[in-house]
Each structure stands twice: as structure tokens, then as C-alpha cells.
Structure 1
Amino acid sequence: MAEPLKVLITGAAGQIAYSLMFQVGSGSVFGPNQPLKLVLLDILPMKSVLDGVLMEMMDCALPLVKEIVATVDETEAFTDVDVAMLVGAMPRREGMERKDLLAANVKIFKSQGAAMDKVSKKNIKVVVVGNPANTNALICSKYAPSIPKENFSCLTRLDQNRAQAQVAARVGVDTQNVGNTIIWGNHSSTQFPDVSHATVTKDGKVVSVYEAVKDDDWLKGDFIKTVQTRGGAVIKARKLSSAMSAAKATCDHIRDWWTGCAEGKWVSMGVISDGSYDIPKGLMYSFPVRTKPDHTYEIVQGLSISDFARAKMDATAKELQEELAAAMEVCEH
């Protein structure tokens, strides 16, 4: 058997982590032959809940999980970690502005980046789930300068899954028969779910989403709005934020990053922009990427961008630039 991978989940006493850690421990992310050491981190006020989660994970008796550590100490948590799933963040509460959330959470990710820089493996792979995810991931990378920027990412796979599910339901196919949907930009209501390069497999034929749906107004209107506001719709209906679907998407994100996606396919990940598609360098921006079995990725190049898409992509980039400026102001004071 392989050497155990050390996998950290933050916010481990929370709802998303509760769905996430079993999936990770069961082998559905890193495979059925990869033993694991799980590290569960949360804040001191959540210690009692964290202890209960630890008991439950032990009681699951998962064969691949060789060790579980539950801690409220950042340095202990980040030491020698291979993969970090940064879920823990202050949730947005009623009456809070996005900037209030940003100010609170930037400090968390500044601190975690600094801890990572000191004690984590330099080839650590990081996905940030806690919102505002793009900017939190970028701040984390800024305060971990010894770790390559490309090792940091944020979760937009949930948005991709949402887009894929909307198209599948509209056309009447299974979700796996919708391929290569793209999420551009920020994990926020400015994100651009783009199906102009996506396909549908139906009745043995592969056709474009536009050909399959046959309703351009829906694809450029209600479809985009539904994906952009799905998180809020879940909160309104459930009285709690997306947890099960966020955990599933986190697993999808890491699995594909770790093992590579199929030939001809791509997935959406928030990654550091290298200037592709005229997106300002250095922003944590969601692009279509091809992931590879050596745990690397490349941004898919050469896709045609319509004027409609360009305007949407630029609007979400502008929001990210504003968020970054606000975040840096918090960090520097």
C-alpha cells in the first residue's frame, strides 16, 4: 500500500465538513488503495462539537483512515499536510454585507497562509471553500510565499455542477451526458456560467447545448440567473446554506485535480490568472482547466469568446479586483 496522504479539513465541526470527511475517508476522492491521515481543524469555541465529530469518524471504522487528529491549533493542523480543504470561514448572516464577510474571513486565511508557509509541505494542494472563496484563496497564497501560486485554488465546481444539472433537467438527459460547462470568474452572483462550448449527449449523438436546448433566451437569461443565485435559493428553502452539494463538489474538485480528467474534458477551478483570456494576472479567477494525473493543471486555451461572454467575464473580474483591494486593506491594518 502507498504511504498515507495527510489531508486537512478546516471548519471540521461545520455542516460542509460533516458531509465531506466521510467521502474523503471512504476512498471516493483519492482512490480505494490510498491510505489517509485525516486532520480536522476548528476554532476553540467549537472544540466540543469537534470532539463529537472525531468520535463519529472513529466509529465509521473506515479501513483507509489510518489516523485522525482533531485540533484547534493551526500549527499542529498544517504540519506536513499534502492536501488542504479550507472549508472553515465565518458564514454570512442576515443583514451582513459582503464586505463585512470579507473583512472577517480575510484574517482567517491570512493566518492560515502564514501557518502553511512555515510547516506544510511545499507541494501541498489547497482548495478554499469558505466564502468569499476566490479572494480568501488569493490572500492565503499571498501569505504563503514559499508555496507555488498554482498550488492554490478555490471551489467553483459547485457552480459547474449546478449549471450541468440545470441543462440536463431542461433537455431530459442524465447529468453525466452534459459536458464541458464553464464557470468564469468569481464564486458570487457575478459569475458567468457559460455553455457556448458545452455539449449534450442524447440518443447516441453529441450536440452543442444550444442545439439541444433550442432556447437561446433561456440560456442567456434564466439559466445564468438560476446558477448565479442558487446558493441563496437553497438558504431560502432550507434555512441553511448548501452543505451536501458543496461537499460533493469539493470532492469532485480534488479528485479531478489529483487523478486528472478524461481526454477531451475540462473542469472549472478558481486558479491564479496567468493573463489568459485577458483576465488580469494574479487574480484568483475561475477558468476551464485540464487536470493531469501528476496533480497539475493547465488553463484551456483558444476558446472563442463572444461579445456577450466578454462583458460577463470582465464584470466578474472587476468585482474580484475590488474584493482584492478591500482584502489587502484589511490585511495591512
Structure 2
Amino acid sequence: MVAYCVVATTDVAEACKGVNIAVMVGGFPRKEGMERKDVMSKNVSIYKAQASALEQHAASDCKVLVVANPANTNALILKEFAPSIPEKNITCLTRLDHNRALGQISERLNVHVSDVKNVIIWGNHSSTQYPDVNHATINTNTAQKPVKELVADDNWLKTEFISTVQQRGAAIIKARKVSSALSAASAACDHIHDWVLGTPKGSWVSMGVYSDGSYGIQPSLIYSFPVTCEKGDWNIVQGLKIDEFSREKMDKTAEELIEEKTLAKSCLN
């Protein structure tokens, strides 16, 4: 029998002691009347402290998932102040957006969500993210068929589908007055599960990871890519054809991340 112990603490050092997986859900949300720099300044302070605690107390192989927004840039701040944690061990959550994209396609085609595979969320976990179905497929009784072929409506795929996924979080807050905490928790579990245990053969998922320059994205950004996972490691899916529409969307969200990175650095001074 395995005994588990839950420690509830406000001591960041105690919370990080010996951890192998850290899911960072704390952050300062933007409030009415606040400027982006105000929010970034508070999150820089929070993630600088969290990173220092992980640096000093976490296990050497600690895997980190940042959930709190701005998730990509919070992860980048954490990486800056926890230099001993390998860059491949610091990620941010875009699986929530990935799952939402799967849901939109399954609803449109009236298929089970598990039959939809290989959608992609490129870029930032923000309203500039790019949900991409150019390489997505549907499992049918006889074969895998392209989502684009089955939807047969490029206008919907390039407009309503994208905007619905991009704005889903805001729509939930507007309707419920609170964020989609349960959906985010489920997505975080999906992210960690696949990272640790691996993705099914022939499938990929979306994760915010440290860019190595793949697909022309500036290195040193935490950017969402399609990845496969195996034996606790992730690798960016390579060789996907990128059309002009996708290129523009991917670059736009990268530009926002560069702006956020610059803003975060200015808050450190």
C-alpha cells in the first residue's frame, strides 16, 4: 500500500521541497482599469519568487507547467530565475485551447471528440493564438479523413472557428462571471499525463514550450507548438507545411509574445 501525504502551506519553500512536477496556477489577474504593465509587473514579482523556490528546493528533474496567465511569459520569467531547471522541463498550458478546438470540430461534424486528432494551437495563450486544422483528421470506420475535407467550409474554419477558440475563455467569464477552472484543471491533467506517459502513436498535442527556432519562430520564446511526447520528453513535430494564411497568424502571435517578453524585462529593472 502506498501512503500519500497532502501538505497545505503558504510557505513557498516548503511547497517546492523535493517536487518532481510543479503546476503553477497562481498569478495576478488583470482587473478593471489596470494597464498591461501593471499586471506584468505583479506577475514578474510572483514568478521570480516561485522560480527561486523551485531552483533551491525542487528535485533536479522537476517538470513545470505554468497555468496562470500570461502563461507563456510567466513561464519565460520562471525559466530566467530557475536556470538549473532544463529549458525542456518548463512548459505552459495551451492544452485547454487545444481541447476547445477539438470540441468545436467534433460538434461541427457530429463526431465523438476522441475521433478528432492533430489540431494545433500555435503561439500565445491569448486572443492571438492560432487554432490550426490544416493537418487535423477524423477517424472514421474505414480511414482517417482530413478535417478540412469533411467540414468543407474554409470560410468557417478561417473565421468563426478561430475566433470561437480564441475567445472561449472570455465568453465563459462573461456568461458565468468566473473563469473555466474545471476545464483548465482537466487540461492541466491531460498535459501532464501525455508529457509523462507519452502521446499515442501518430498523434500530437499542443504545448507551450521553449522555441528552438522551429517554423521560423524566434528562439527563446515560450510558444505553443504541436509536440509528441515519449518517456517524459517532448519533441516539436517537424516538417508540417505552412501556408500563407497560417504563416501570418503564427507570426502575429509570435510578435505579441516578443512584446510581452520586452515588457516583462522592463519590469525587472
Partner of 1:328: 265
Structure 1 position 120 matched with structure 2 position 58: yes
Question: SS at 1:288's partner residue?
Answer: strand
* Structure 1 residue 105: Cα displacement: 1.1
- Counterpart of 1:78 (choices 10, 13, 16) is 16
Give the aligned partner of residue 301 of structure 1. 238
**1:203: Cα distance to partner?**
4.4
1:281 aligns with 2:219: yes
Which residue in 1 is equivalent to 2:153?
215
- Partner Cα separation in structure 2 for residue 101 and residue 207 of structure 1: 44
Match of 1:317 among 234, 246, 254: 254
Question: What's the offset of the Cα at 1:188?
Answer: 0.2
Deviation at 1:76, TM superposition (A): 1.0
Unaligned runs of 5+ in 2: none
Q: Answer 1 or 2: higher relative contact order, Cα 8 Å, separation at least 6.
A: 2
After alignment, is 180-189 or 105-114 more displaced?
105-114
Match of 2:204 among 251, 263, 266: 266
Equivalent residue, structure 2, for 1:25: none
Deviations 1:204-252 (A, max 9, x none): 4321010111110000111000000110000000000110100000000
Paired position in structure 1 for 2:112: 174
Per the TM alignment, residue 100 of structure 1 is displaced from its structure 2 partner at its CA by: 2.7
Q: What is the identity, as a one-letter code, of the residue corresponding to 2:214?
A: S
Query: Does the CA-based 8 Å contact 1:173-1:202 persist in structure 2?
Result: no
Candidates 122, 125, 138, aligned match of 2:76: 138
Letter in 1 for 2:146: S
Equivalent residues in 2 for 1:164-203, closer than 5 Å: 164-203=102-141
Residue 148, structure 1, aligned to residue 86, structure 2:
yes
Post-superposition Cα deviations, 1:130-162, rounded to whole Å, max 9, x if no partner, equal: 000000001001100111111000000000000
Report the counterpart of residue 229 of structure 2 in structure 1: 291
- The one-letter code of the counterpart of 2:62 is I
Q: Does 1:257 align with 2:195?
A: yes
Q: Distance in 2 between matches of 1:115 and 1:202?
A: 48
- Is this contact kept in 2: 1:261–1:290, CA < 8 A? yes
1:270 is paired with a residue whose SS is strand
Structure 1, unmatched stretches of 5+, are: 2-34, 36-64
Q: Is 1:242 paired with 2:180?
A: yes
CA-based RMSD: 1.2
Provide the rounded CA distance (Å) in 1 between the counterparts of 2:128 and 2:257. Answer: 10
Could you say what secondary structure the match of 2:4 adopts?
strand
Equivalent in the alignment of 1:11: none
